[in-house]
Structure 1
Amino acid sequence: MTTAPTRVQHTQETVEELRLKVRRFIHRQVIPAEPRPGEQLDASTRNRLQQAAKDAGVFAPHVGVEFGGQGVPIEWWSSVFQEAGYSSIGPAVLNCMAPDEGNMHMLGLIATEEQKERFLAPLASGRIRSCFGMTEPHPGAGSDPSALRATARREGNQWVLNGHKRFSSGANGAGFCIFMAHADATDTTPEGATMFLVDMDTPGVHIGEPIHTIDRAIIGGHPHMYFEDVRVADDAVLGEVGRGNKYAQARLGPARLTHCMRWLGLARRALDIALDRADRRELFGSEMYKLGMAQELIAQCEIDIETSDAIITKTARLLAEDPKAGQNLSSIAKVHCSEAIYRVIDRCIQICGGDGVSDGLPLAQFLNEVRPFRIYDGSTETHKFAISRRASSRRRREVQAGAPYQGDAVVRKEGDR
């Protein structure tokens, strides 16, 4: 038996008040503590800032109040997450960074009360971190989750887990993993993808080779991870046996969108840097912001930011009303935002010239942070494939239900106007 996380009855006014508190906290305490471009946030600074976030009443905005969060429902997350994302370390400080944020959301929805106490409570408080073990080396699961090769075999009153994962974001130093495996059928359970909650110090769990990526914001890296005859009890099963793919989609829909929110905050920071630069620099006898070549770049940035903000807002509301219906729009939002945010930061580097590609400004590192987002959580191309198939299926259903067919050319007689 599980209960939904407790959400506060927030209004537009209370969320705006929280957003402003987050903004002040990020500007006054987080940005001054940012590591140099290319470096990672160290544990002592993270712990100090997380305690400061708790003291300021801005910690874990998405988590239920019973676990120390602010209890904000998903339809109100965007403005708060964007403020947190104004600093590349802001989400880690507020404990709303991937993969922990997505894992917290899923645990809040489907974990048992005992699992919440054991895994969600320390994760929500920032005492531990987590990772999510789904992606595998080719030909295993990646963009195609049905290719899952990790296995879960029933043996007595235990499950025996085996599998090789890669791009296990946050695995180094994590307290536990949500491990995806294909479970064999038993007398009481069906076969199929299944999630298991596994402590990282369980015998048989090994962190393997690091994967060196250009992003630095996700603490714990993206290493290989090996499960070799890992034994867990029935209470390690998250949700129901055989429903792992369904749970993964329920996790990934909001998780894609919160990536959009966080990185959109970073795009806003990039544009502020570029606007300040254009306001004070002169070229060809004029302030840069008055020149058409700079105005074009700035205007396109504004357009990309505002359209991204709009689709995030619409998707968040739909996910709150009908999570299943929101999955498709979440894919569309992920494609649009990941591409648009990259364009914004790239243009801002162009406006700032040589300094834009140096470590004197953080823009080049911002670009490194957002570039993988066009691949992580499903590549742009994979999402476009799914979006197109859904559109075609939707239209076929409409025509079969009696909607007028529009595909044939109209033959007009001579004299018709």
Structure 2
Amino acid sequence: MDFNLPAEIDAIRLRTRAFIADKVLPLEVDPANYDAHENIRPDLLEQVRAKARAAGLWAPQAPRDRGGMGLPHIGWAAVYEEANRSIFGPACLNCAAPDDGNINLLARIGTEAQKRWWLDPLIAGEVRSAFAMTEPHPGGGSDPNMMLTKAERKGDNWVVSGRKWFITGAEGARHFILMARTSDDPRKGLTAFLYHADQPGWRIERRIPIMGPEEHGGHCEIVYDGLEIADENRLLNVGDGLKVTQMRLGPARLTHCMRWLGLAKRAMEIAAEYTSRREGFGIRLADRESVQIKMGELAHEIQIGRLLVMHAAWKLDQGDFARKEVSSAKVHVANTLHKAVDTAIQLNGARGYSKDTVLEWIYRYARQARLVDGADEVHKMVLARNYAAEGMDYWSWGR
């Protein structure tokens, strides 16, 4: 086993670290650099994105021949972790959700025409996108088989009716990937479609207020009432919706973890800096055993998360679906992020609870990690089912 990164990927990682430190981190300090929803101001984002392109740090996940960096999954892991040392970092490099996952999916399964229309503008950063799957009760959430949104065939088109909610990035998105029911077949009942924001027959009902902060475009409730989608804008075959969902969400869950590790490390970094200079009762906080235990636990949990993520990324690069590896990483890293920022706030005291640092921003953001792309409990069920099927082979070292 070789735990060294390939030299070319490590060089990109170090360039990413330097770019984030020099061009992105300083922007967090000024409240004027934030938009109304606590993300980087869009006009400023475009300025930083131009610098990222010039630095050769643009769209790490996208194919090289379409304008990206063409890195393997292990390269994503190394770069995304460095990018999310800043709360603005992933958006600046065009590797933030949901565009990140949509780029990866369309690059894998889109037709050439679909890539020219939907994928290329995403990679170029000219548009934003959304993935519309989750529905309000009694519709589909973690269980897509409960999906109620329907697409009914009408000649060469499909007519969509239904409702989605908590659709990340929908406000301001131009390109959408939509999951809808096309039959009652339990395994082949769903189909994936592409549509553009200018098409009639759909509307954003509301931008749902959340604890925040938010990705650009928020989290929206969408109503479909006669949206017509040409059959040529279907992804894969009719009935392949579950397959598309698995292809989209598996790697996307892992890229969340890659970014969250960067935020967890940032929280620990803020805690380390403060405890190294803050004194109480004649001793630095960093010299107190109780503080050292907390910091040691964080270092330990973060490193476990990095190993889980890199192992899952390696499996994906081997052509494996890495379902149990991704689920393990998702559960562990989501909880590690929450623990890291909670501990950092505790060690910073009132300073951590204030807006003098980004800790309170990360804290509010971190709580969603245990819910998005499958709640902890769902992923633990996945692990249990894998163990039931594999027994002692669950821990095999094989590929």
Looking at structure 1, the residues matched to 137 and 60 of structure 2 have their Cα atoms a distance apart, in angstroms, of: 37
Matched, 1:350 2:352: no
Which structure 2 residues correspond to residues 190-339 of structure 1 after superposition, within 5 A? Answer: 192-324=189-321, 326-339=322-335
Amino acid at match of 2:136: P
Larger Rg: 1
Of the three residues 362, 368, 386, the one matched with 1:390 is 386
Three-state SS of the structure 2 residue aligned to 1:168 is strand
**Change over 3 Å in CA distance of 1:239–1:301 after alignment to 2:** same
Q: Tell me, yes or no, if the aligned pair for 2:276 and 2:285 is still in contact at 8 Å.
A: yes
* Aligned position for 1:365: 361
Amino acid at match of 1:119: W
Matched, 1:55 2:54: yes
Aligned residues: 384
Q: 1:386: Cα distance to partner?
A: 2.0
Q: 1:178: Cα distance to partner?
A: 0.3
Q: 1:112: Cα distance to partner?
A: 0.2
* Aligned position for 1:175: 174
Q: Tell me, yes or no, if the aligned pair for 2:188 and 2:242 is still in contact at 8 Å.
A: no
* Aligned position for 1:16: 10
Looking at structure 2, the residues matched to 364 and 185 of structure 1 have their Cα atoms a distance apart, in angstroms, of: 45
Three-state SS of the structure 2 residue aligned to 1:279 is helix
Please identify, of 214-223 and 360-369, the stretch whose mean Cα deviation from structure 2 is larger. Answer: 214-223
TM-score for the superposition, normalised by structure 1: 0.89
* Aligned position for 2:80: 81
Q: Deviations over 1:322-372 (max 9, x none)?
A: 332x01210111001101111011111111111000001110111111110
Q: Tell me, yes or no, if the aligned pair for 2:171 and 2:207 is still in contact at 8 Å.
A: no
Q: Tell me, yes or no, if the aligned pair for 1:211 and 1:223 is still in contact at 8 Å.
A: yes
Looking at structure 1, the residues matched to 188 and 87 of structure 2 have their Cα atoms a distance apart, in angstroms, of: 41
Q: 1:397: Cα distance to partner?
A: 9.4
Looking at structure 2, the residues matched to 217 and 166 of structure 1 have their Cα atoms a distance apart, in angstroms, of: 15
TM-score for the superposition, normalised by structure 2: 0.93
Matched, 1:112 2:111: yes
Q: 1:217: Cα distance to partner?
A: 4.4
Q: Tell me, yes or no, if the aligned pair for 2:308 and 2:329 is still in contact at 8 Å.
A: yes
Looking at structure 1, the residues matched to 274 and 392 of structure 2 have their Cα atoms a distance apart, in angstroms, of: 51
Q: Tell me, yes or no, if the aligned pair for 2:135 and 2:164 is still in contact at 8 Å.
A: yes
Q: 1:48: Cα distance to partner?
A: 0.9
Of the three residues 331, 336, 340, the one matched with 2:336 is 340
Three-state SS of the structure 2 residue aligned to 1:59 is coil
Q: Tell me, yes or no, if the aligned pair for 1:250 and 1:323 is still in contact at 8 Å.
A: no
How many percent of aligned residue pairs carry the same amino acid?
37
Matched, 1:96 2:95: yes
Q: 1:392: Cα distance to partner?
A: 1.3
Q: 1:393: Cα distance to partner?
A: 2.2
Question: RMSD between aligned alpha carbons?
Answer: 1.8
Unaligned runs of 5+ in 2: 395-399
Unaligned runs of 5+ in 1: 1-10, 399-417
Q: Tell me, yes or no, if the aligned pair for 1:183 and 1:192 is still in contact at 8 Å.
A: yes
Looking at structure 2, the residues matched to 298 and 378 of structure 1 have their Cα atoms a distance apart, in angstroms, of: 29
Q: Tell me, yes or no, if the aligned pair for 1:196 and 1:237 is still in contact at 8 Å.
A: yes
Q: Deviations over 1:270-297 (max 9, x none)?
A: 1111101111111221111110111111
